Amino acid sequence: MKEESARRSPTAFARHLVVMAKLPVAGRVKTRLARGVGVGRAVSFYRAGLAAALGRVSQARRWTTYVAVAPDSGIYEPVWPISCRRIAQGRGDLGQRMQRVMDGLPPGPVVIIGSDVPEIRSEHIASAFKILASADVVLGPSPDGGYWLVGLRRRPRIARIFDRVRWSHAETLSDTLANAVGLQVCWLEQLDDVDDADDLARLSERAGRRIPSPPNIFS
């Protein structure tokens, strides 16, 4: 796995938070949302949402934050905050890319989130890692049948819960749970993500009240 960082943590079982992200340019991000609100607004939403999410979750010293970037060449673009380490997602579907993250990071629990959940906070991440002290898997479900967070303890082995999952589908969560049979699975609260214009309209007022303006990390 490609990684751009100064050095790895010396802690044997450090906590690793990974934010799956795409290079925030037109045509690469929020294409479903763009069909409803226009390309410019969709890209602006993605950039602001990603900046806000990274600003909220990357400041905690209780874990190391990575940005897993697509395309791979995007890790070299000067748009990412210096507080986060960068790794390349690599090829394949979402499940293959997340499994690559799980397989490639140093020992310790790994939590993966997306960048399009307006209400995510550092407290959610802390709760996920607390759960992984004893559980094998932690999931944060979303109303559309998917999930906004997934974490693995990765001990005594790295579970493979992403095989043959139908992504962006009403059965995404169910498919993942089918792969987790025999593992201890625990849950976080349900949160909404933003995939299309209806999602944005439903969440914009609520998110606007609860979430501060994003830090200027993409200038």
Question: Tens digits of per-residue pLDDT, 72-128?
Answer: 999 998 888 887 899 999 999 999 999 999 999 999 999 999 988 888 999 999 999
Q: What is the distance between the alpha carbons of residues 44 and 54, in angstroms, rounded to a whole number?
A: 15
Its pTM stands at: 0.85
When pLDDT is cut at 50, 70 and 90, the band that residue 195 belongs to is low
47/134: higher pLDDT: 134
CA distance 43 to 147: 22
Choice between 179 and 218, residue whose per-residue pLDDT is larger: 179
Distant-in-sequence, close-in-space partners of 59: CB < 8 Å, separation ≥ 6: 83, 122
Q: pLDDT averaged over the chain?
A: 84
The residue ranking higher by pLDDT, 50 or 198, is 50
Q: What is the pLDDT of residues 12-60, one digit of tens each?
A: 579 999 999 988 888 777 677 767 777 778 788 788 888 888 888 887 7
Q: Is the pLDDT of residue 172 over 70?
A: yes
The pLDDT value recorded for residue 1 is 54
pLDDT bracket for residue 211 (50, 70, 90): very low
Give the model's pLDDT for residue 216.
42
Instruction: Note the pLDDT of residue 37.
Output: 73
Q: What pLDDT shows up at residue 196?
A: 61
39-57 and 122-131 helices cross at what angle (nearest 10)? 60
Mean pLDDT of 164-172: 95
Instruction: Give the span between the Cα atoms of 204 and 49, in whole angstroms.
Output: 11
Query: What's the pLDDT at 171?
Result: 97
